[in-house]
Structure 1
């Protein structure tokens, strides 16, 4: 249902609500506000919501009834719809789409009780000054409606002014805001001490800016925790001036000491030494962030079925990270067929093939083989659905 409604209908709705002094609820089953008359409204007594609220949220705003009931429980103090209408008009006037408004109300119903002139307009001006407005602002706030609860003068402006010293541009600030609410930062107790500490570790200038852009939450945690993380990373021998450093910091910050030790022990069960683990980690830090379940499946296939040597996986840990069903197995199956048909002029390693994009892989190993390409494409696609189908295809090829 579209949000745009005749203003005369709004005013009539307000008059009806003010005229009813006790808690009543208009049944939404009896009529729709898109009809030409309000006469079909039926009235039922309820003590749990304002007399008009659920009907208003369903018929005017367009929310599903379940969402409207949930939202109305946060708006019990509103007795007439004037404020709700002023908020809706303001959002629409600022270019918010219907989906934006629905999402914001579902996640933060109290926005409908907000004073437009004294609260919403200053907040919106703040965002507009940063370069965020219209539908872009609607999309941003629909994902992060909690931002509207922060005091503009006391929290939003000081925090943005602080991080702008390090991010240097509104574009960078918006990048951080869209992925993480900088309004929630504790600047004095966390951000400032952490930034000073990182600078003392050699992470400064453009590297510090890059760290803030890629891992903003990393610098908004307890300073003692950040020091522990940097000590771990130092033990791994990662250079603070390298691009990998901030990536490793982010990974290590998401893992407890216990989780790290469990990953170490897992790799050791496959004969990896601590030096092997560190070598793989330096090549692909994300390998230790993979779930044990995913690692077990990858090891079972690569080590137990394909008989890959431990040293090969240490040097090519990305094979453990790729999707088995979506990439590794289908590409291995296709290479098996290409070798059996002697279509490869020179052999190629699975680790190399798995690094290729889907488009490039198909061009190099499927589509260029002319009359064979149709069957090769079929093998590749069906291998994604059934990894064991390679046995059937190999039997057919050998019989042909």
Structure 2
């Protein structure tokens, strides 16, 4: 057995066990090749324990890893990320909490803070922003320019209050050109 086989074989066995099928294992490696470069004892095993410690069952973790296999290299959250998770204040019992946790863990704190500032510039208070993130964490993935353009359309063109999006968060994930403008024209 060669040097590479002695290192890769246990790592590949571990990853095959995590992804539970060869097909998912191969797709995960294509999305996140850094999994093979990660240390089995220092990164992969502690990461799996970290996510299970947050309450992710194997099936929940598997569906999360299916979309973002790179999270298997994350073994902790920065204090600033933890603070953001606590501010969003979603109940830990809800499945949404795990979704918020995973999204914040995948994002840079500076990027999230820029998105928060962008929403403040659009007329939302800090409390309304946390409510919005708790109700619809997908807003965390939206580009600042996209959010600004939709908020501009809703507030300036349609004269809706800025906090309208807190009550109807899906409006920020809808297409401006294909959904929002045509519907408001009919309305």
For Structure 1 versus Structure 2, the TM-score category normalised by the shorter chain is 0.7 to 0.9
- The one-character-per-residue Cα deviations of 1:300-342 (angstroms, maximum 9, x if unpaired) are 1111000112332112122222221233212322x24xxxxxx
Q: Within 5 Å, which residues of 2 pair with 1:1-400? A: 151=4, 153-181=5-33, 182-221=35-74, 223-225=75-77, 229-230=81-82, 232-239=84-91, 242-333=94-185, 335-336=186-187
Cα 1:179–1:286 shift into 2, 3 Å: same
Check whether the contact 2:50–2:76 (CA below 8 A) recurs between aligned residues: no
Shift of 1:257: 2.6
Shift of 1:224: 4.1
CA–CA distance in structure 1, aligned partners of residues 82 and 57 of structure 2: 15
Shift of 1:274: 2.1
SS at match of 1:238: coil
Check whether the contact 1:263–1:292 (CA below 8 A) recurs between aligned residues: yes
Task: Show structure 1 runs of 5+ residues with no match.
Answer: 1-150, 337-400
Check whether the contact 1:201–1:240 (CA below 8 A) recurs between aligned residues: no
Task: Show structure 2 runs of 5+ residues with no match.
Answer: none
Cα 1:212–1:255 shift into 2, 3 Å: closer
CA–CA distance in structure 2, aligned partners of residues 312 and 189 of structure 1: 46
Match of 1:86 in 2: none
Shift of 1:154: 3.7
Match of 1:344 in 2: none
- The one-character-per-residue Cα deviations of 1:173-211 (angstroms, maximum 9, x if unpaired) are 234234322323332221211221222222233223333
CA–CA distance in structure 2, aligned partners of residues 231 and 261 of structure 1: 12
Normalized against structure 1, the TM-score is what?
Answer: 0.41
CA–CA distance in structure 2, aligned partners of residues 332 and 235 of structure 1: 33
CA–CA distance in structure 1, aligned partners of residues 98 and 9 of structure 2: 27
CA–CA distance in structure 1, aligned partners of residues 94 and 66 of structure 2: 15
Normalized against structure 2, the TM-score is what?
Answer: 0.79
